[in-house]
Structure 1
Amino acid sequence: MEGIFGCVCDLRKSGLKERVDSRLREFKEIGEKSNEDIFNEMCFCILTANYSAEGGMRIQKAIGNGFLKLPEKDLARKLSELGHRYPQLRAKFIAEARKHHGSLKETIRSFGSEENAREWIVKNVKGLGYKEASHFLRNIGFENLAIIDFHIIDILSKHGLIERPKTLTKKKYLEIEKILKEIAKKLDMNLAELDLYLWYEETGKVLK
């Protein structure tokens, strides 16, 4: 693990820490907003599955409260116009998720742990698997869930910490999350912070 420790420590000393801390504060602020704002962030995470974070951010900004207000067909057309790869399917997932929006904040905070909140999301919100549910919770201020995509897998594989899996099952996801928790603990940071450093190492960007 020494290689990855050195990598993150170097990034933290490079001046990146201020940007990372600023982004983490933004996440906390979103988590204190209304159910509508939190639902909007959930829709962003539905959009980013098999799509880019930057593309999701662009579409989120363009649609705004249309995630909640637009009829499903109009939302699908808008997603298509904005260049999303799967406009009909994502519009369907978002329309189905609307039933949760009125109590979303309260429901998520009612669970005894972040892991239990994630399980509820995976079981009740179509379009959000473990990665996307973790992404959503991180983006509203939760700190102790790993967002495991193939950028993160590539970094861990490069440092010899895992073998690159062919598919990311729940069992494999939780195994890799455990490794990331160990790394975060030794670096004296939470998983939300670690993710931003690792994402920057792989992409050169500090995104949400």
Structure 2
Amino acid sequence: MLRDLVKNVKLRARVLERADEFNLNRIAGEDVWFRELLLCILTANSSFIGAYQALQTIIGDVLYLDEERISRALQHSGYRFYRLKAKYIFNAVRYYGKIRATIFPIAEKDQLEAREHLLELKGIGMKEASHFLRNVGYFDLAIIDRHILNFISYYINLPNSLTKRKYIYLESVLRSISKSFNIEVGLLDLFIWYEETKMIVK
């Protein structure tokens, strides 16, 4: 299944085009990095489309909103976990202006270390940190979401819970698979996501 997807010339071209967009984010300013961070916070345990729509309702004013107003805006957008994510987003606002300056020099040297720094933020786990780094142009980390887990279940038995240690193990498996297809592991999920949704956004 995946082999056919990766060999699909048109699809591979679209994935590489999306990768170019991520690379442009890499050299973008703090506003773009902050937006991508909020998107990844909102995407956790929610659909990408729902998270994106929720982000649009707050992104213009989020630096000036208190936690309650962020919560109400998310609720109005139809977002499910509006109270919890409002708390995480309000906390993230404190780091506006520092995110790119802090993470960029680390990620340029060591993407794993950059992910560790991101894990210090509330609402950011292994998947969200990997997703964020991929969206700002770093492709050596796996985004292990339910689509990826469904895919990898064809190859190995999945653990009952996804601890950090197990995430790193599954990431190593995915990295081996991606190398066999000559693609970077951070882009692997785009092929799988396309198979399930027929879209390449994320």
Query: TM-score scaled by structure 1?
Result: 0.90
In structure 2, the residue matched to 1:98 is 93
Aligned to 1:187: 181
Unaligned runs of 5+ in 2: none
Post-superposition Cα deviations, 1:56-105, rounded to whole Å, max 9, x if no partner, equal: 11122232232322221111100000011111111111111122221211
Partner of 1:149: 145
Q: Which aligned pairs between 1:57-206 and structure 2 lie closer than 5 A?
A: 57-111=52-106, 112-122=109-119, 124-158=120-154, 161-206=155-200
CA distance in 2, matches of 1:19, 1:58: 23
Q: For structure 1, which runs of at least 5 residues remain unmatched after alignment?
A: none
Structure 1 position 22, deviation (Å): 1.9
Report the number of matched residues. Answer: 200
Asked if 2 retains the 8 angstrom alpha-carbon contact of 1:146 and 1:180, the reply is yes
Normalising to structure 2: TM-score of the pair? 0.92
Matched AA of 1:198: I
For 1:30, the equivalent position in structure 2 comes to 25
AA matched with 2:139:
E
**CA distance in structure 1 between the aligned counterparts of 2:64 and 2:18, rounded to whole angstroms:** 28
What root-mean-square deviation, in Å, do the aligned CA atoms of Structure 1 and Structure 2 show?
Answer: 1.5
